[in-house]
Amino acid sequence: MAGMAQTPTSRPRILSGMQPTSDSLHIGNYIGALTSWIGLQDDFEPYFFVADLHALTVATDPEVVRRRTRLTAAQYIAAGIDTDRCAVFCQSHVREHAEVMWVLSCQTAMGEMERMTQFKDKVAKGQKANVGLFTYPVLMAGDILLYDAQRVPVGEDQRQHLEITRDLAVRFNQRFGETFVVPEPHILKQSAKIMDLQEPTAKMSKTSSSPKGMIDILDDPKRIAKNIRSAVTDGEGEVRYDPEGKPGVSNLLVIHSALSGTPVDELERRFEGQGYGSFKGEVADVVVDAVAPFRERIEELTSDPAELDRILAAGAERARTVAAATMDRVREAVGLLAAGV
């Protein structure tokens, strides 16, 4: 019989991460995820990681992986993640992630993986169908279960991604005894969904958006402004929030409102009768002004990679303490002998 999973505390654990798949996060990552993470720091015990193992499912130059891993971590911190209150770390620095994945893989049916829609979608878009891509949901489940995370912040459209984790936790507990906390989704209802500037009916994405459809927060301010001014709108010339009928204009309103704090209805009144030129110009100014201090903080962090690595090492040490305790329970549960002293 395995030892019981940790009893939830007054500050339940919450875990999330992003892959280091580009040099810069885009404005959708910033508004939709990072700002939401910042709001979780008071009520939860947060663990935020850079998913560098997940990034290996695509062919990437090793130096690029290293650079992007540091840059992604730096962007967490620059956005306002407090490393005194949160563990910020690299997935690969906690070896228990890979170990628990193997154990969970042995409890996962082939059919479950074959039904995962993201694998099919990525292969359909031309990504190489390697085994890592096929089994990445099991590693994702291990990421969550290692930390006894009671909550996992997800958007409403990502709720299904958590189901395989819950299924594996329940199955393991039923077979081997209470070992894992079964996590619940923490739905980020207030987070804004930022759409592609050129395809405003599709979500802005590091993997599927064109360069003109993106707002990379570390991009040159002139390029950011140019992309916003060339964003697809419509022929009406009326600044009005209507996601179905006016998706491009609505997307720009959401971006402005999220960064400026000005309610959308107030923006509609302000730009009544002005057309799209002045509206896009102000959205561009708001975005450039909002990311300026962020960019400055990134430059400070990346100019001292040794200090950034120290922060990541400290975060990994905190994470490893929790992950190692969970892994001890898992080894005992499945009958693996304890290592000799």
- Give the active site residues: 122, 203, 206
Tokens of 336: 């693996």
Residue 47: DSSP 8-state: E
Upper half-sphere CA count for residue 1 (Cβ side, 13 Å): 3
Count CB atoms within 10 A of the CB of residue 43: 12
- DSSP H or E segment with residue 153: strand 151-154
User: What is the C-alpha to C-alpha distance for residues 222 and 219, in angstroms, rounded to an integer?
Assistant: 8
Element (H, E) at 168: helix 163-176
> According to DSSP H, which parts of 209-337 are helical?
221-229, 247-260, 264-270, 276-302, 305-334
| Of 333, 340, 315, 322, the residue nearest 97 (C-alpha) | 322
